[in-house]
Amino acid sequence: PVIERWGHGLVEPPHLDDAPGHADAELITIRGLDDDGLLALNIERSLYLDLEELRVIRDEYERLGREITDVEIETLAQTWSEHCAHKTFRALIDTTGGPDGPGEVTPLLAQLRACTDSIDAPFVRSAFVGNAGVIEFTEGTTIALKAETHNHPSAVEPFGGANTGVGGVIRDVLGIAHRPIAVTDILCFGPVDLPLADLPDGALHPRRIRDGVIDGVADYGNKIGLPTVAGAVLYDPAYTTNPLVFAGCIGTAPSRPIHDGPFPGDHVVVLGGATGRDGIRGATFSSATMDATTGEVAGASVQIGDPIVEKLLIDALIGAEDLYSAITDCGAGGLSSAIGEMAEGVGAAVDLDLVPRKYPGLDPWEVWLSEAQERMVIAVPPQHLAAVQARCDRVGVRLA
């Protein structure tokens, strides 16, 4: 219902709840919970944490001698999600029972890092840090590259999932101060001639997923004005319930040092679209196992894309690189991850009341966690704040 509704005959327009949300963070009882209580809390708040993680959180707050707030537990859930923590790629692989006997394999992410470091290609400027990788084939011009999957959202809401998957990688390239110039897409679906009798409960038919995903990719790229320069479409029964939507973006910039801020005294500035209930728990949703109920409980995890606003963000930020000391996207985890990453070394004071809302009634944790493809966070020295405001006013982008 956050995305769309339908009905026979006339459909009454939605009436937004004008009641204010909770002004303060709410306390959640976690101390003293046994395993069953922890799992019940996990389901109630759609945290998608495993039992061991829940125990660690409980034990820490028992040590602190207080209950956890909704803002804190939601922040931990998104930070420890599959999307943000890459738990599968960071995991030790146990080979017990394998042909070579018991043992462990180095985590896949560590192997990728070691491989990149050992090759030490001279054209690689930045890898495994920031929002996108940066290479320099030709002296004087750097190229930013980013690709990621948007599978779970596309399985639940194909158009919106693919739409915001494209927007997300464009945003990531912008988040490392490069101008996006093209996108790429590799799409994998189940058989489009799958008999309805063979479709698992709760899953959309592969034909509907395919049509929605392709429309979503085209809609975002066309509206923002970026061509799709490479891609593929593949079909396999393994993708029937969970398609692969592998979106990528390429950007360019004049060679320059990567921003090394923020610094004490910088302002935390949020640019772009207003915050709503779409895109909440998008990161934690990545840790969910897809089943017949996923679409019902996670529909709001898919953001409502707005490519025109992202195009205006590009216009506001490209050429303003000397006005800010750090930049990051407001992707999975929203402000919690963006400001959390950016301010890791210096800390930050955040006033959520200043964040523009799409409508009233949002709780603090919702404002803190809501993801958007059309929102960026920059650290601005005080003397440059007026210049950034002027650029935003010129193109019509909100600033807070």
Eight-state DSSP code of residue 200: P
Catalytic residue among 8, 15, 83, 178: 83
Encoding tokens for residue 375? Answer: 């929102």
Residues forming beta bridges with residue 18, ordered by sequence position: none
Pick the closest to residue 376 from 330, 335, 344, 332 (CA basis): 330
Pick the closest to residue 76 from 105, 99, 53, 101 (CA basis): 53
Cα(375)–Cα(366) distance, integer angstroms: 15
What is the end-to-end Cα distance of the chain in Å, rounded?
A: 29
Catalytic residue among 86, 150, 152, 178: 150
83 in catalytic set: yes
Q: Quickly count: other Cβ atoms within 10 Å of residue 52's Cβ.
A: 7
Three-class SS state of 275: strand
Alpha-carbon distances of 109 from 90, 124, 203, 271, rounded to whole Å: 6, 18, 31, 32
Q: Is the peptide bond before 360 cis (omega within 30 degrees of 0)?
A: no
Encoding tokens for residue 66? Answer: 């207080």
259 in catalytic set: no
Alpha-carbon distances of 57 from 75, 226, 282, 332, 340, rounded to whole Å: 12, 44, 21, 21, 18
Cα(187)–Cα(234) distance, integer angstroms: 6
Residues forming beta bridges with residue 134, ordered by sequence position: 126, 144
Catalytic annotation, residues? 83, 150
